[in-house]
């Protein structure tokens, strides 16, 4: 994006993908820009409306199985997010959003087409047994891939789906699960492919992990001025680390 223009943050279909409070990610991103004196515009994209192509960061949150089908169908009406990504936009997709940006995901006993932005697929189970695993509910702690230069990620998860990379998938897992389930493939959570991030972490994830917010912002803005962030965030992160007994 160019020098003085506002960073545009699109909150996609919050009525369908807002069940778990992930709309807070838009608040965190915009506040971290405002604290730095940088202009920002949050673009609320109501369910069913055309997704604009002109945004810098696209946010998709978590939702229930049926709403996420509606969301995928609506977003697919145009290819705005795909075109924006190929022009340098970033995406943060959480839980249902993560499933939706992949190739396929389950809902109502059927497999639905995702947006194919990242090379993952989601099912109720990838195991041999007919009985799917229990819903993944609780705290989740992820050690991010070292290449991302991020500290430990904290959040909570609440999902039935299990996600895995497709053969030959591009991108890297967001990180290694130290507590919780994540993708459920035996150790990873999420994907980072170019400027597209998918993850199972709610929280909102950017409120608990401001370094991840700044990574997204730096991708679309370039180097960010230093920020004298409120100390409370780090105090809360340390308290969380101790409470979860993750060393």
Ligand X SMILES: NC(=O)CC[C@H](N)C(=O)O
**Distance between CA atoms of residues 147 and 72, nearest Å:** 30
Instruction: Pick the piece of the chain touching ligand X (CB under 6 A) from 23-31, 42-50, 158-166, 229-237.
Output: 158-166
Rounded to the nearest whole angstrom, what is the least distance from the CB of residue 28 to ligand X in the complex?
18
Nearest CA among 115, 85, 76 for reference residue 99: 115
Residue with tokens 């609506």: 74
Total number of residues that touch ligand X (CB under 6 A): 12
Rounded to the nearest whole angstrom, what is the least distance from the CB of residue 231 to ligand X in the complex?
31
DSSP at 168? T
Q: Is 198 in the site for ligand X (CB under 6 A)?
A: no
Rounded to the nearest whole angstrom, what is the least distance from the CB of residue 77 to ligand X in the complex?
21
Q: Omega before 189 cis (within 30°)? A: no
Q: Is 65 in the site for ligand X (CB under 6 A)?
A: yes
Of the two residues 7 and 209, which places its CB atom closer to ligand X in the complex? 209
In the three-class reduction of DSSP (H, G, I as helix; E, B as strand; rest coil), residue 119 is classed as coil
Contact set for ligand X, span 124-153 (CB under 6 A): none
Contact set for ligand X, span 77-96 (CB under 6 A): 95-96
Instruction: Determine whether the annotation assigns residue 79 to a binding site.
Output: no
| CA dihedral (215, 217, 219, 225) positive or negative | negative
Q: Is 62 in the site for ligand X (CB under 6 A)?
A: yes
Q: Is 120 in the site for ligand X (CB under 6 A)?
A: no
Tell me the C-alpha to C-alpha distance, in Å, between residue 189 and each of 13, 69, 140, 177, 179: 24, 22, 10, 6, 11
DSSP at 147? G
Q: Is 18 in the site for ligand X (CB under 6 A)?
A: no
Nearest CA among 52, 50, 46 for reference residue 14: 46
| CA dihedral (144, 145, 146, 149) positive or negative | negative
Q: Is 95 a catalytic residue?
A: yes
The only residue of 8, 11, 13, 20 in contact with ligand X, by rule CB under 6 A = 20
Binding site for ligand X (CB under 6 A): 20, 62-65, 68, 95-96, 158-161
Binding-site residues: 135
Mind telling me the catalytic residues?
95, 202
């Amino acid at each position: 994006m160019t020098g003085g223009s506002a960073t545009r943050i699109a909150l996609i279909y919050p009525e369908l993908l807002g069940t778990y409070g992930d709309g807070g990610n838009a608040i965190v991103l915009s506040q971290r820009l405002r604290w730095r004196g940088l202009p920002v515009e949050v673009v609320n994209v109501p369910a069913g409306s055309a997704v604009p192509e002109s945004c810098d960061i696209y946010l998709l949150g978590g939702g229930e199985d049926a709403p996420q089908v509606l969301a995928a169908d609506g977003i697919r009406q145009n290819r705005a997010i795909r075109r924006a990504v190929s022009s340098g936009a970033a995406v943060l997709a959480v839980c249902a959003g993560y499933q939706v940006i992949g190739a396929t995901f389950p809902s109502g006993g059927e497999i639905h087409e995702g947006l194919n932005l990242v090379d993952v697929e989601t099912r109720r189970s990838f195991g041999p047994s007919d009985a799917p695993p229990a819903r993944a509910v609780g705290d989740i702690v992820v050690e991010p891939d070292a290449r991302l230069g991020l500290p430990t990620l904290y959040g909570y998860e609440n999902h039935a789906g299990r996600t895995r990379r497709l053969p030959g998938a591009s991108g890297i897992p967001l990180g290694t699960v130290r507590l919780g389930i994540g993708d459920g493939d035996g150790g990873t959570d999420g994907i980072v492919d170019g400027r597209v991030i998918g993850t199972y972490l709610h929280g909102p994830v950017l409120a608990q992990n401001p370094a991840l917010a700044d990574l997204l912002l730096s991708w679309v803005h370039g180097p960010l001025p230093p920020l004298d962030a409120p100390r409370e965030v780090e105090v809360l992160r340390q308290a969380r680390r101790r409470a979860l007994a993750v060393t």
